[in-house]
């Protein structure tokens, strides 16, 4: 096998709009190992927005659409083929108004609520934590749980994690077993809030930091299998762009983390950069041309500034 591969690229890919197509030659030496890309950056995101969850993933066990325990077989097949490493749920902006108890117990007894973030539509709560974890089992993925910091409490989040992860015979563990899952669940990632600088509560960096410390301290994973090598990683809300105000947000969080005491910790920052050329998004999700594609690729490079 040749050690050097040569590609001919079109200048249009990185310059938008392009006046004329310009050939650029790129050589890649495949004989030398490069940086390893962490597979978890290819994780997915499932939010109760539009038909992303309802009809998109969940159709219910009585649907005419082929499903396994209410989860679409075609979607499971497609995501298994992608080998999705993790899925973040329940949001998004939806997460900071989500209260987990509404989504457990017999489906017919779950109270319908509103989804104020996304059109004020009815949220039937038929896709809750048990359905989400079943979905992950079916596609072979890990859980990235985003807890409610905006309108919830540390106690609510702590009880959610105990409900999911403890193997001890507590009241919450017994309730989980009664709802169909005696064994504790594994949670790989815990997102402490979502976009807390905007829809997650319009918090200042210092206020969010105070919440991060509290949630980090009291929201624990009790799964016996995750106490040593496979510990749950706690992910803080990171910046939403490369401008100065985002630098301030990141520095407040990271400086506090560098000087942290034993009682709190985090293992990562969630960087949010919307790779749209303008807001609101104007390009079609399908059927777009080379100009639109190159503009979005160029916008994606702003991740380097975060």
Percent share of the chain, pLDDT over 70: 93
Examine the pLDDT at 16 and tell me if it is beyond 60: no
* pLDDT confidence of residue 20: 56
Q: What is the mean pLDDT of residues 159-170?
A: 99
Q: Do 212 and 236 meet the contact criterion of CB atoms below 8 Å apart?
A: yes
Nearest to 142 by CA among 195, 199, 191, 77: 191
Examine the pLDDT at 197 and tell me if it is beyond 50: yes
Render the chain in DSSP notation, one character per residue.
--SEEEEEEEGGGTSSS-SS--EEEEEEETTS--PPPPGGGG-EE--SSTTTTBTTTB--TT-SS-EETTEEHHHHHHHHHHT--EEEES-SGGGGG--GGGG-S-GGGPPPEEEGGGTTEEE---S-HHHHHHHHHHHT-EEEEEE--SSS-HHHHHHHHHHHH--S--HHHHHHHHTT--SPP---EEEE-SSTTTTTT---HHHHHHHHHHHHHH-----GGGSSTTPPEEEEE--SSSSHHHHHHHHHHHHHHHT--TT----EEE------SSSS--S-SSS--HHHHHHHHHHHGGGGG-
Q: What gap in Å lies between CA 181 and CA 184, rounded to an integer?
A: 7
Q: Report the CATH number of the 37-272 domain.
A: 3.20.20.80
Question: 23 falls in which pLDDT band (50, 70, 90)?
Answer: confident
Q: What gap in Å lies between CA 276 and CA 298, rounded to an integer?
A: 10
Q: Across all residues in the chain, what is the average pLDDT?
A: 92
pLDDT in tens, 128-158: 999 999 999 999 999 999 999 999 999 999 9
Pick from 84-98, 111-125, 292-306: least confident = 292-306
pLDDT in tens, 234-258: 999 999 987 888 999 999 999 999 9
* pLDDT confidence of residue 285: 83
* pLDDT confidence of residue 14: 40
Any idea where the domains of the chain sit in the sequence?
37-272
Examine the pLDDT at 223 and tell me if it is beyond 90: yes
Angle made by CA atoms 133, 171, 127, in degrees to the nearest 5: 25
Question: 302 falls in which pLDDT band (50, 70, 90)?
Answer: confident
Structure tokens at 5: 């591969």
Percent share of the chain, pLDDT over 90: 75
Angle made by CA atoms 280, 282, 283, in degrees to the nearest 5: 140
Length of the chain in terms of residues written: 306
Structure tokens at 213: 């410390």
pLDDT in tens, 36-84: 899 999 999 999 999 999 999 999 999 999 999 999 999 999 999 999 9
Q: What is the mean pLDDT of residues 297-304?
A: 87
Tally the C-alpha atoms within 13 A of residue 304's C-alpha that lie toward its C-beta: 5
């Amino acid at each position: 096998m040749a050690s050097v591969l040569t590609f001919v690229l079109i200048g249009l890919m990185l310059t938008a709009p392009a006046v004329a197509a310009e050939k650029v030659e790129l050589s890649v030496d495949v004989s030398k190992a490069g940086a390893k890309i962490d597979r978890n950056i290819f994780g997915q995101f499932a939010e109760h927005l539009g038909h992303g969850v309802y009809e998109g993933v969940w159709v219910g066990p009585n649907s005419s659409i082929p499903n396994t325990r209410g989860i679409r077989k075609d979607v499971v097949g497609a995501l298994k083929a992608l080998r999705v490493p993790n899925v973040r749920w329940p949001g998004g902006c939806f997460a900071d108004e989500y209260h987990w108890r509404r989504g457990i117990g017999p489906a017919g007894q779950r109270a319908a609520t509103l989804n104020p973030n996304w059109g004020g539509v009815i949220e039937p709560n038929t896709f809750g934590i048990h359905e989400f974890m079943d979905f992950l089992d079916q596609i072979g993925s890990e859980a990235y749980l985003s807890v409610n910091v905006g309108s919830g409490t540390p106690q609510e989040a702590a009880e959610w994690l105990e409900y999911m992860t403890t193997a001890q015979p507590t009241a919450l563990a017994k309730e989980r077993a009664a709802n169909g899952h005696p064994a504790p669940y594994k949670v790989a990632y815990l997102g402490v809030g979502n976009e807390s600088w905007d829809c997650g509560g319009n918090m200042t960096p210092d206020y969010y930091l105070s919440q991060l410390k509290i949630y980090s301290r009291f929201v624990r994973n009790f799964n016996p299998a995750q106490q040593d090598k496979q510990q749950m990683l706690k992910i803080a809300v990171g910046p939403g762009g490369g401008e100065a105000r985002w630098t301030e947000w990141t520095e407040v969080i990271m400086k506090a983390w560098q000087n942290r005491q034993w009682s709190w910790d985090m293992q990562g920052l969630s960087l949010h950069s919307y790779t749209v050329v303008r807001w609101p998004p104007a390009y079609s999700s399908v059927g777009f041309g080379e100009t639109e594609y190159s503009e979005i690729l160029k916008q994606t490079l702003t991740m380097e500034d975060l």
